[in-house]
Amino acid sequence: MPKASIFYFSGTGNTWWVANELAAALSQRRIEASAYSIEQIAAGRAAELVAASDLVGFGYPIYGSDLPLPMQRFIVEIEVRPAKPAFVFCTQWLWSGDGASLGAAMLRARGFEVRWGEHFHMPSNVSVPVLPWPLHTDAPPAKAKYLRHSSFRVQRLAEHIAQGRLFYRGFNTLSTVAGLLQRAPYRRHLHKFRDALAPDPARCTRCTLCVRLCPTDNLLLEHDTIRTVGRCVLCLRCYSFCPEYAMLYCGRAHRHGPPFRGPSLGFDPFALIGPHKRF
């Protein structure tokens, strides 16, 4: 049976959900597939998995039409010669522009032959107070609607892969232009936000959950205070899962109901984490 490895980065669980659904859908079609969080595998192990796979997949959430920095670093770390078939997908709330084709271009430069690309609409994880109205929802029925829609796309992508039919959705000029327009300001201003998330000392109980969950070691407990060290990649994991809603964004406190807590009720963010920090 052919083997597939799917590597993903997921801040708050949406991409984890799609990666695991895809692995199951491929396995049902006689492609033995496993999904790996890039936080759980060292660079050397990734290279071994790629070498042992007939097909490789990559998934990430879209941040301002860009790839999260840990995923960019992961892609730069691996190289494949001779070329190997690959697929790429991103998860997004509304619109990513060229979210998947950007990753495809990066992967082609590393030697992958990207034959499939897809975008999945998932609930917004942007719970931070950026606008006067909420962008996120943590209501299970609303989240279930997104999952139903994405399930359909997972099955369709798996079928195209199993049949060996090329499939690229959202790889067109309009998406490329829209992606460029959103990505340029995002990249220009990202550095200003690398310390934007920090706990409110008045609400924080120093439970250290955020410290343990952070994929970049940006949060440190020192002298009974959680401090930041400028490595935030804006995954929003700390903000979403703090039991006290104590995380501040640019000094502003959470409002508008519970923050986004993953794609389904009881989602455990520890499923995502590992010792390999890429930032």
Ligand X SMILES: Cc1cc2nc3c(=O)[nH]c(=O)nc-3n(C[C@H](O)[C@H](O)[C@H](O)COP(=O)(O)O)c2cc1C
Q: Which residues bind ligand X (CB under 6 A)?
A: 10-15, 61-65, 91-96, 122, 124-126, 182, 234, 236
Q: Which of ligand X, ligand SF4, none interacts with 37 (beta carbon under 5 to 8 A by kind)?
A: none
User: Are the beta carbons of 148 and 78 closer than 8 angstroms?
Assistant: no
The residue among 178 and 221 lying less far from ligand SF4, judged by its C-beta, is 221
The residue among 12 and 53 lying less far from ligand X, judged by its C-beta, is 12
Q: How far apart are CA 107 and CA 14, in angstroms?
A: 22
Minimum distance from residue 142 beta carbon to ligand SF4 (Å): 23
Q: State the pairing for strand pair 32-37/55-61.
A: unpaired
The residue among 167 and 193 lying less far from ligand SF4, judged by its C-beta, is 193
The residue among 54 and 268 lying less far from ligand SF4, judged by its C-beta, is 268
Minimum distance from residue 63 beta carbon to ligand SF4 (Å): 11
Minimum distance from residue 61 beta carbon to ligand X (Å): 3
100-121: buried (b, 16+ CB within 10 Å) or exposed (e) per residue?
Answer: bbbbbebbeebebebbbbbbbb
Report residue 5: phi and psi, to 5°.
-115, 130
At residue 27's C-alpha, the angle toward residues 88 and 52, to 5°, is 65
205 binds ligand SF4 (CB under 6 A): yes
The residue among 50 and 69 lying less far from ligand SF4, judged by its C-beta, is 69
The residue among 55 and 236 lying less far from ligand SF4, judged by its C-beta, is 236
The two tokens of residue 129 are 């107070």
Report residue 173: phi and psi, to 5°.
-65, -40
Q: How far apart are CA 19 and CA 154, in angstroms?
A: 9
- Which residues within the stretch 208-227 sit at the binding site for ligand SF4 (CB under 6 A)? 208-210, 213-216, 218-219, 226
User: Are the beta carbons of 183 and 64 closer than 8 angstroms?
Assistant: yes
Report residue 104: phi and psi, to 5°.
-60, -40
Minimum distance from residue 197 beta carbon to ligand X (Å): 11
Q: How far apart are CA 233 and CA 68, in angstroms?
A: 7
* Of the candidate residues 56, 246, 248, 272, the single one contacting ligand SF4 (CB under 6 A): 246
Q: Which of ligand SF4, ligand X, none interacts with 197 (beta carbon under 5 to 8 A by kind)?
A: ligand SF4
Q: Which of ligand X, ligand SF4, none interacts with 117 (beta carbon under 5 to 8 A by kind)?
A: none
Helix (H) or strand (E) holding 91: strand 84-92
- Which positions lie near ligand SF4, rule CB under 6 A? 197, 199, 204-210, 213-216, 218-219, 226, 232-238, 242, 244, 246-247
